[in-house]
Amino acid sequence: MEGFLGASYLWVKAAHLIFVIFWIAGLFMLPRFYIYHQPVVPGSAEDRLWVERERRLRTIIITPAMILVWIFGLALAFNIGAFSEGWFHAKLAAVIALSAYHGWAVGYGRKLARGYRPASDKALRWMNEIPGIATAVIVILVIVRPF
Protein backbone atom coordinates (compact mmCIF):
# COMPACT_ATOMS: atom_id res chain seq x y z
CA MET A 1 0.00 0.00 0.00
CA GLU A 2 1.26 3.45 -0.84
CA GLY A 3 1.24 6.41 1.47
CA PHE A 4 3.38 7.28 4.44
CA LEU A 5 2.47 4.03 6.25
CA GLY A 6 3.97 1.93 3.49
CA ALA A 7 4.23 -1.76 4.36
CA SER A 8 2.85 -1.12 7.86
CA TYR A 9 -0.55 -0.06 6.44
CA LEU A 10 -2.17 -3.47 6.97
CA TRP A 11 -0.77 -3.69 10.52
CA VAL A 12 -2.21 -0.28 11.36
CA LYS A 13 -5.53 -1.28 9.79
CA ALA A 14 -5.57 -4.49 11.84
CA ALA A 15 -4.76 -2.59 15.03
CA HIS A 16 -7.53 -0.09 14.26
CA LEU A 17 -10.08 -2.88 13.86
CA ILE A 18 -8.91 -4.70 17.00
CA PHE A 19 -9.33 -1.59 19.13
CA VAL A 20 -12.68 -0.79 17.50
CA ILE A 21 -13.86 -4.22 18.67
CA PHE A 22 -12.58 -3.57 22.23
CA TRP A 23 -14.19 -0.11 22.32
CA ILE A 24 -17.57 -1.24 21.00
CA ALA A 25 -17.62 -4.32 23.23
CA GLY A 26 -17.00 -2.07 26.23
CA LEU A 27 -19.69 0.35 25.09
CA PHE A 28 -22.11 -2.59 24.89
CA MET A 29 -21.21 -3.66 28.43
CA LEU A 30 -21.12 -0.32 30.25
CA PRO A 31 -24.78 0.71 29.84
CA ARG A 32 -25.80 -2.83 30.76
CA PHE A 33 -23.76 -2.44 33.95
CA TYR A 34 -25.60 0.83 34.59
CA ILE A 35 -28.98 -0.89 34.15
CA TYR A 36 -28.02 -3.41 36.84
CA HIS A 37 -26.40 -0.76 39.06
CA GLN A 38 -29.27 1.72 38.92
CA PRO A 39 -31.63 0.02 41.43
CA VAL A 40 -28.87 -0.68 43.98
CA VAL A 41 -28.96 1.35 47.20
CA PRO A 42 -26.38 4.17 46.98
CA GLY A 43 -23.48 3.68 49.40
CA SER A 44 -24.13 -0.04 49.90
CA ALA A 45 -21.47 -2.72 49.49
CA GLU A 46 -23.08 -3.77 46.21
CA ASP A 47 -23.05 -0.16 45.02
CA ARG A 48 -19.32 0.10 45.71
CA LEU A 49 -18.72 -3.12 43.74
CA TRP A 50 -20.62 -1.75 40.71
CA VAL A 51 -18.75 1.55 40.92
CA GLU A 52 -15.43 -0.30 40.87
CA ARG A 53 -16.45 -2.62 38.00
CA GLU A 54 -17.59 0.32 35.92
CA ARG A 55 -14.46 2.33 36.70
CA ARG A 56 -12.22 -0.54 35.64
CA LEU A 57 -14.14 -1.10 32.42
CA ARG A 58 -13.88 2.60 31.56
CA THR A 59 -10.24 3.14 32.53
CA ILE A 60 -8.68 -0.18 31.51
CA ILE A 61 -10.62 -1.01 28.33
CA ILE A 62 -12.99 1.57 26.91
CA THR A 63 -11.10 4.86 27.11
CA PRO A 64 -7.68 3.50 26.04
CA ALA A 65 -9.36 1.62 23.17
CA MET A 66 -11.16 4.78 22.01
CA ILE A 67 -7.91 6.75 22.02
CA LEU A 68 -6.15 4.06 19.98
CA VAL A 69 -9.10 3.86 17.55
CA TRP A 70 -8.73 7.58 16.91
CA ILE A 71 -4.92 7.42 16.51
CA PHE A 72 -4.92 4.45 14.12
CA GLY A 73 -8.04 5.65 12.29
CA LEU A 74 -6.64 9.11 11.62
CA ALA A 75 -3.35 7.59 10.45
CA LEU A 76 -5.27 5.40 8.00
CA ALA A 77 -7.40 8.30 6.82
CA PHE A 78 -4.38 10.50 6.15
CA ASN A 79 -2.58 7.61 4.48
CA ILE A 80 -5.34 7.00 1.91
CA GLY A 81 -6.46 10.62 1.55
CA ALA A 82 -9.94 9.84 2.87
CA PHE A 83 -10.71 13.42 3.88
CA SER A 84 -11.94 14.18 0.36
CA GLU A 85 -14.44 11.29 0.35
CA GLY A 86 -18.12 11.70 1.24
CA TRP A 87 -18.37 8.31 2.92
CA PHE A 88 -15.48 9.27 5.19
CA HIS A 89 -17.13 12.53 6.26
CA ALA A 90 -20.23 10.56 7.27
CA LYS A 91 -18.09 7.96 9.07
CA LEU A 92 -16.17 10.67 10.87
CA ALA A 93 -19.44 12.27 11.99
CA ALA A 94 -20.66 8.89 13.28
CA VAL A 95 -17.39 8.29 15.17
CA ILE A 96 -17.56 11.77 16.69
CA ALA A 97 -21.14 11.03 17.80
CA LEU A 98 -20.02 7.68 19.25
CA SER A 99 -17.21 9.47 21.09
CA ALA A 100 -19.78 11.90 22.52
CA TYR A 101 -21.83 8.90 23.63
CA HIS A 102 -18.69 7.54 25.28
CA GLY A 103 -18.37 10.86 27.14
CA TRP A 104 -22.01 10.65 28.25
CA ALA A 105 -21.46 7.09 29.50
CA VAL A 106 -18.38 8.10 31.51
CA GLY A 107 -20.27 11.03 33.00
CA TYR A 108 -23.27 8.88 33.87
CA GLY A 109 -21.01 6.42 35.68
CA ARG A 110 -19.63 9.25 37.79
CA LYS A 111 -23.19 10.29 38.68
CA LEU A 112 -24.03 6.74 39.73
CA ALA A 113 -20.87 6.66 41.86
CA ARG A 114 -22.13 9.79 43.68
CA GLY A 115 -25.53 8.16 44.29
CA TYR A 116 -27.37 10.18 41.64
CA ARG A 117 -29.66 8.25 39.28
CA PRO A 118 -31.02 10.76 36.75
CA ALA A 119 -32.08 8.37 33.95
CA SER A 120 -34.93 5.90 34.02
CA ASP A 121 -34.35 2.20 33.39
CA LYS A 122 -36.17 2.61 30.08
CA ALA A 123 -33.87 5.46 29.01
CA LEU A 124 -30.80 3.40 29.92
CA ARG A 125 -32.12 0.48 27.89
CA TRP A 126 -32.54 2.78 24.87
CA MET A 127 -29.04 4.20 25.40
CA ASN A 128 -27.77 0.62 25.32
CA GLU A 129 -28.80 0.43 21.64
CA ILE A 130 -26.65 3.33 20.43
CA PRO A 131 -23.33 1.45 20.04
CA GLY A 132 -24.98 -1.24 17.92
CA ILE A 133 -26.68 1.26 15.63
CA ALA A 134 -23.51 3.32 15.30
CA THR A 135 -21.47 0.19 14.51
CA ALA A 136 -23.89 -0.85 11.76
CA VAL A 137 -23.81 2.63 10.20
CA ILE A 138 -20.01 2.85 10.33
CA VAL A 139 -19.47 -0.63 8.86
CA ILE A 140 -21.84 0.13 5.98
CA LEU A 141 -20.10 3.44 5.29
CA VAL A 142 -16.64 1.83 5.26
CA ILE A 143 -17.50 -1.32 3.31
CA VAL A 144 -20.20 -0.14 0.91
CA ARG A 145 -19.01 3.49 0.59
CA PRO A 146 -22.44 4.60 -0.65
CA PHE A 147 -21.23 8.09 -1.56
Please, what sign has the CA dihedral across residues 103, 104, 105, 111?
Answer: positive
CA 56/CA 88 separation, integer angstroms: 32
Binding site, by residue number, is 16, 91
Q: Coil, strand, or helix at residue 2?
A: coil
Q: Mean pLDDT of all residues in the chain? A: 96
pLDDT by residue (tens digit) across 41-91? 999 999 999 999 999 999 999 999 999 999 999 999 999 999 999 999 999
Interval 92-100 mean pLDDT: 98
Confidence of residue 122 (pLDDT cuts 50, 70, 90): very high
Counting Cβ atoms within 10 Å, is residue 73 exposed (0-12), middle (13-18) or buried (19+)?
buried
Q: What is the pLDDT of residue 2?
A: 78
Confidence of residue 1 (pLDDT cuts 50, 70, 90): low
Binding site for heme, by residue number, is 16, 91
Q: What is the pLDDT of residue 22?
A: 98
On the question of pLDDT at 115 being above 70, the answer is yes
Look up the pTM and report it: 0.94
